[in-house]
A and B are shown apart, each in its own frame.
Chain A
């Protein structure tokens, strides 16, 4: 069974940093692209960042470019999101999402349960 389990959420200070992790199981990790998708309280979904199966290609939404860094460790089946220069508008549930194929096409067939990030002083 494919499973994604996020961790690392919590309270972050404006201008501060947080690091999210996503532990994956049940599939050949390096064969699939992965993304982070967030959802602000009471709002819709927003794609944040994506990474190819090899980790060689990364993509970012304009809203986080230059502040967030996505990475993966294929030896540990783990996806990460380093979040720097946090802003109040980064407050959201952050979901780890798996691509349906090797290609990164923004088609997510499995989602984690999400981890809540709150940015506040």
Chain B
């Protein structure tokens, strides 16, 4: 079960947009429509921000959006706010044999 590939860090100024990529393979990201994104603040449990590539759970601001092209999924945070500073993890379903795989995480810094 290989991890998905994310950049270790990303940053942007308040009000700007930032995009975080998540690269997998045809066995996970490009094989199923179950890519999710999670936000984790220090010392806290992860929180679901995006599911099924681009859907937002209720309560998640529409500043957060997801997309996918081939084996790469992306999370875009528009109108950056201070509270968006956190670690972000992508995840994908990988079938019954491998089930779930996470990316290594991206630390988003709001400058």
Fill in one digit per residue for B74-97: 1 if any A CB lies within 8 Å of its CB, else 0. 000000000000000101111010
CB distance from B86 to the nearest CB of A (A): 13
Which of A15-23, A24-32, A72-80, A103-111 forms contacts with chain B?
A103-111
Q: Is the CB of B36 within 8 A of A107?
A: yes
CB distance from B38 to the nearest CB of A (A): 7
Q: Is the CB of A45 within 8 A of B46?
A: yes
B window 38-93: CB within 8 A of A: 38, 40, 45-48, 51-52, 57, 89, 91-93
On chain B, which size bracket covers the interface?
A: 20 to 34
Q: Is the CB of A104 within 8 A of B99?
A: yes
CB distance from B7 to the nearest CB of A (A): 13
Q: Is the CB of B102 within 8 A of A46?
A: yes
Q: Is the CB of B46 within 8 A of A95?
A: yes
- Residue of A47, A110, A113 near B99 (CB, 8 A) is A47
CB distance from A26 to the nearest CB of B (A): 15
Q: Is the CB of B101 within 8 A of A47?
A: yes
Q: Does A87 contact B (CB under 8 A)?
A: no
Q: Is the CB of A107 within 8 A of B1?
A: no
Q: Is the CB of A106 within 8 A of B104?
A: no
Which residues of chain A are near B12, meaning CB under 8 Å?
none
Which residues of chain A are near B103, meaning CB under 8 Å?
44
- Residue of A46, A107, A111 near B52 (CB, 8 A) is A107
In the complex, residue of chain B having the shortest beta-carbon distance to the beta carbon of A57: B96
Q: Does B3 contact A (CB under 8 A)?
A: yes
Q: Does A61 contact B (CB under 8 A)?
A: yes
